[in-house]
């Protein structure tokens, strides 16, 4: 391995997951690939290069990510889901990038600009998440402004986002939000608008609720072969829907050193772990600056030669130690799997997330972007 650590991206798995969501959405529904946050840690350039010409739209968080996508695929349709600052509105319009709008200040800025191009916007409505979104009492005024300046503003889409699909088996709140969203769509259409892209479903909602699949779905975590939650898997099983996702990323490192320590000797900062016997320790050149969380100190594990090796002592900025006493033959630069498979054993992002009290989204998106992403079969 040329690098101390790498993330392998399976092209085959990524395309498999895309096919799953195309099948779920149906032929008439566009599938948008969400590649924000460095494609959930999988590498935006690598993911976009694989999906180029295979998805209808790429969704990002900001203008810089949008331009990253365009640098790889200059014909891509790109939608900014996050906030576009007033100073970047002109840039987005000139680059023909669609962006999400939910406040009147953004509209006022658009109409004040002297541009020959039309802004392509997606109006995000508030239905119960109480984050980004136009409140119902503000919707009529914003539609009035858009209609007045229809030569400058094209209402390409209307969207919302669910608050509680992933963490519950109770559909009542998603259905309430869906009712509110349908009301908002009726208001939009009553003013004469016919936006081609109506969307509210991310991965979980797309899998669970057919009524949430409009003209587009936004697929993020599921695209990368990771389940939005255990509840999503359970709900699908209850309804006897056989959906198989394949993890796209595996995170691998190497052994930097093998050393023997005596019984009673400690390992790492703070002397938090002491050998209960004569032991063999391997030093792995990854740490919390790489995204291997410090909470994995004394609780995490890795795979080497198809066997589980526990993390001993504290996770440092660029190093961890593992106990390989019971794994014979380990030598310098042997492969170490942090996430992924080694022979018939596997460590998942979900397993790592459980140990540090978070979710798989955070585990993968926090893998340092400087670590190379390598596309494999």
Active-site residues, by number, are 36, 269
Q: What is the DSSP secondary-structure string of 303-357?
A: EETTEEEEEES---SS-EEEE-TTSTT--TT-EEEEEEEETTEEE-HHHHHHHHT
* Strand, coil or helix: 84: coil
Among 157, 145, 154, CA closest to 181: 157
- What DSSP character marks residue 296? G
- What DSSP character marks residue 372? P
Q: Is there a contact between 251 and 367 (Cβ–Cβ < 8 Å)? A: yes
Q: Is there a contact between 345 and 327 (Cβ–Cβ < 8 Å)? A: no
Rg of the chain's alpha carbons, rounded to an integer? Answer: 24
Q: Is there a contact between 17 and 225 (Cβ–Cβ < 8 Å)? A: yes
Contacts of 228 (CB under 8 A, 6+ apart): 165, 166, 202, 203, 204, 207, 221, 222
- What DSSP character marks residue 113? S
Return d(Cα 69, Cα 264) in angstroms, integer: 54
Among 12, 46, 8, CA closest to 342: 8
Q: Kindly report the number of other CB atoms within 10 A of residue 317's CB atom.
A: 11
Contacts of 116 (CB under 8 A, 6+ apart): none
- What DSSP character marks residue 77? -
């Amino acid at each position: 391995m040329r690098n101390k650590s790498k993330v392998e991206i399976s092209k085959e798995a990524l395309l498999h997951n895309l096919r799953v969501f195309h099948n779920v959405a149906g032929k008439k529904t566009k599938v948008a690939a969400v590649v924000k946050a460095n494609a959930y840690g999988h590498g935006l350039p690598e993911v976009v290069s694989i999906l180029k010409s295979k998805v209808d739209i790429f969704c990002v968080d900001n203008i810089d990510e949008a331009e990253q996508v365009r640098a790889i695929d200059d014909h891509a349709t790109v939608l900014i889901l996050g906030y576009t600052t007033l100073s970047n509105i002109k840039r987005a319009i000139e680059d023909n990038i669609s962006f999400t709008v939910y406040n009147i200040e953004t509209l006022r800025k658009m109409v004040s600009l002297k541009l020959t191009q039309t802004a392509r916007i997606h109006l995000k409505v508030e239905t119960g998440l109480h984050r980004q979104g136009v409140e119902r009492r503000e919707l009529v005024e914003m539609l009035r402004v858009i209609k007045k300046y229809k030569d400058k503003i094209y209402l390409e889409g209307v969207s919302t986002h669910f608050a509680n699909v992933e963490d519950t088996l109770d559909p009542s709140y998603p259905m309430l939000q869906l009712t509110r969203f349908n009301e908002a769509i009726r208001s939009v259409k009553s003013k004469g608008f016919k936006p081609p892209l109506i969307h509210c479903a991310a991965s979980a909602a797309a899998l669970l609720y057919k009524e949430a699949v409009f003209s587009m779905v936004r697929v993020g975590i599921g695209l990368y072969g990771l389940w939005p939650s255990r509840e999503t898997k359970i709900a699908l099983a209850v309804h006897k829907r056989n959906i198989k996702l394949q993890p796209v990323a595996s995170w691998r490192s190497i052994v930097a050193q093998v050393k023997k320590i005596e019984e009673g000797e400690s390992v790492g900062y703070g002397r938090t772990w002491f050998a209960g016997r004569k032991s063999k320790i391997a030093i792995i050149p990854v740490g919390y600056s790489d995204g291997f969380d410090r909470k994995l100190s004394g609780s995490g594990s890795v795979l080497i030669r198809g066997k589980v090796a526990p993390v001993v002592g504290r996770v440092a900025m660029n190093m961890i130690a593992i106990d390989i006493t019971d794994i014979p033959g380990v030598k310098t630069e042997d492969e170490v799997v942090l996430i992924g498979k080694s022979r018939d054993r596997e460590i998942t992002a979900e397993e790592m997330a459980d140990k540090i009290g978070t979710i798989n989204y955070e585990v993968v998106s926090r893998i340092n972007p400087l670590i190379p992403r390598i596309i494999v079969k």
